[in-house]
Structure formats: structure tokens, C-alpha cells
Amino acid sequence: MSEAPRFNIEKIYVKGLSLEIPHAPGIYLEREAPAIEVQMQSAGNNIDDGLFEVVLTVTVTAKLGEKTMFLVEASQAGIFEIRNVPQEDVEPILSVACPNILFPYVRETLSDVVIRAGFPPMLLSPVNFEAIYQQRLLNQQAQPAAEIPIQ
């Protein structure tokens, strides 16, 4: 008899946090709304038998023309227990379920840092990690197989 699948959150923590305000204090005198650019990536790795660390890193850059108002980056991490799950299901869990759990935490961290830096509140829009994962799979399938030289 096989054991039931297990998925548990062991720990959620901020792994890295960075804030830059290169044009302070003058940038605080600007009144126009900045252009906001958001970059996001996640990575998961096995750290012990059945334990995985997933890190969701979000970088937000606010610019007024060529001037950077602020640049903030947060890496939100979690340790997850994943046991008795078919091997082919582990990657989707690490790429979809875990980032879905981490996103509200990184969103709150970034919002708090931006407010503490003296800027208006900033909330990240929800993210569909399943769609991102599916697109990544499609892109991988579209890549031609690399030629391996035979010696």
C-alpha cells in the first residue's frame, strides 16, 4: 500500500531584499507618475529527501523617462515538503503551486518597502503561474533538439 501524497509548507521567508533610489532626494520632487516594469522568475531545487526550496524573485523598476525613481527586488522563498507524488508532478508543483503560495508574501514585502522608501503604495497585479508554466513548456517543445556530436 502506497502512502498518500503529502504537500506541506515548512517555512516561508525573505531570502533577499534590495532597494535603490539613485536620484534621491531630487526624485521626491517629481510629480508625474512613473512607468513601472516588473520582472519575475522562480526556481526550485531539492534540498533534502522530499524537501524543496522554491524562490520567487520579483524586480520592480519605476522610471521617469530615463531616470530611475526606484528599483526594488525581493526574493521570497519557501521550503516545501513534497512526498509520495509521481515524479512528473513534482515540476508543476514547484513551478505553479509553490509560486502561487509565495506571491502574496512577496507582493506585501515589495509594497511595504516602496511605502517605507517614501513612495505611493504599489500593488502587483495577480499572476497566473500556470499559464507561465504552460508557455514555458510550449517554448521548450518548439526548440529544436540540440545536436550531440558522436565521437
Listing DSSP states for 99-114 in one string gives HHHHHHHHHHHHHHHH
φ, ψ for residue 34, nearest 5 deg: -80, 160
Q: Give the tens place of pLDDT for each residue, 52-86.
A: 999 999 999 999 999 999 999 999 999 999 999 99
Q: List the grid coordinates of 68.
A: 530611475
pLDDT (tens digit per residue) in 14-57: 999 999 999 999 999 998 999 999 999 999 999 999 999 999 99
Q: What is the pLDDT of residue 139?
A: 86
Residue bearing the bigger pLDDT, 12 or 140 = 12
CA 81 to chain CA centroid, nearest Å: 19
End-to-end alpha-carbon separation of the chain, Å? Answer: 47
Task: Express each pLDDT in 112-125 by its tens digit.
Answer: 999 999 999 898 99
- At position 8, the amino acid (one-letter code) is N
Q: Which DSSP helix (H) or strand (E) runs through 54?
A: strand 51-64
What is the rounded CA–CA span in Å between residue 21 and residue 19? Answer: 7
- CATH architecture label of 6-140: Roll (3.10)
CA distances to 14, 45, 62, 130 from 28, rounded to whole Å, are: 27, 41, 13, 38
The bridge status of strand 51-64 relative to strand 35-48 is antiparallel
**In the predicted structure, residue 135 carries a pLDDT above the cut 60:** yes
More confident residue, 100 or 150: 100
